[in-house]
Amino acid sequence: MGIKFCSLSSGSSGNCQYIETDRVKILIDGGLSGKKIERLLSSIDVCPTTIDSILVTHEHIDHIRGVGVLSRRYDIPIYANQSTWTRMERAVGEIKAKNIKIIESNEDFQLGDLDIHSFKVFHDAAEPVGYCIYHKNIKISIITDTGWVNDNMKSIIKGSSLYLMESNHDVKMLKEGNYPWYLKKRILSTKGHLSNFDAGKTLSEVLTGNGEIVLLAHLSKENNRPSIAHETVRECMEDYGINVHRDIALDLTYRDRPTRVYTL
């Protein structure tokens, strides 16, 4: 079967990504209600009782809202670094000791037939991370909620078959929008969120143009449009000589519905 990937939901209203192999099924984050995540899983024919683990990127509520409920309901282990556990402990509620799995950022661990590497990102959370997921010769990189992608992060995610990359806002829309200045400043900072242009530039520097799948994630409802995100990233890539119609597959994630299930 290889490995399957689906973004169940991505955005400030809730984030949850699904990965499956022959041996394991995992979620990256669970930022919607338990019932909503169950419905989203059901929509792609996955039973919540079959989820083996939940990996958490950081403690913001749009990434952990349903994590505790799912863990208690289905006896699912939760993986996060110590700083994230400390910050999210009250929000997720009581978790069985055996399901509290503390990992180290920038280190590797295994879940079934998946090799997983967590790496630090730049966001206003305790110790936010992205994840690289390896299965045989396939690599999936998940990088959202970061205001900056430095050279080390680029080297970590390079060579992926699928990228879930934050493309949060259009800078002009954000600056001219109704958000208060302090919030605009936070979003635009290196510990905020990645703009469409920065997403496009980052991707252009790591893609090889050999058929990679790129999913733009965490689009702002107020400060972005799917068409603007897609067009801005496409233009960046074409400036680097990457043809999105020939060399890669460029697509979007959604806040209100899953993407299709990608099999790699």
| Distance separating alpha carbons of residues 204 and 42, to the nearest angstrom | 35
pLDDT digits (tens, 9 = 90+) for 158-206: 999 999 999 999 999 999 999 999 999 999 999 999 999 999 999 999 9
Q: Percent of the chain having pLDDT more than 90?
A: 99
Q: Percent of the chain having pLDDT more than 70?
A: 100
pLDDT digits (tens, 9 = 90+) for 203-235: 999 999 999 999 999 999 999 999 999 999 999
pLDDT of residue 94: 97
* Whether pLDDT at 110 is above 80: yes
pLDDT of residue 123: 98
Read out DSSP for 87-103? HHHHHH----GGGEEEE
**The overall pTM is greater than 0.85:** yes
pLDDT of residue 73: 98
pLDDT of residue 15: 98
Helix (H, G, I), strand (E, B) or coil at 134: strand
Which domains are delineated in the chain? Answer: 4-263 (3.60.15.10)
pLDDT of residue 8: 98
Query: Whole-angstrom distance between the N-terminal and C-terminal Cα of the chain?
Result: 8
Strands, DSSP E only, in the chain? 4-9, 16-20, 25-28, 53-55, 78-81, 100-103, 108-111, 114-120, 129-135, 138-143, 162-166, 213-217, 249-252, 262-263
Average pLDDT in the 4-31 region? 97
pLDDT digits (tens, 9 = 90+) for 28-82: 999 999 999 999 999 999 999 999 999 999 999 999 999 999 999 999 999 999 9
Cα 250 to the center of its chain, rounded Å:
16
* Whether pLDDT at 1 is above 80: no
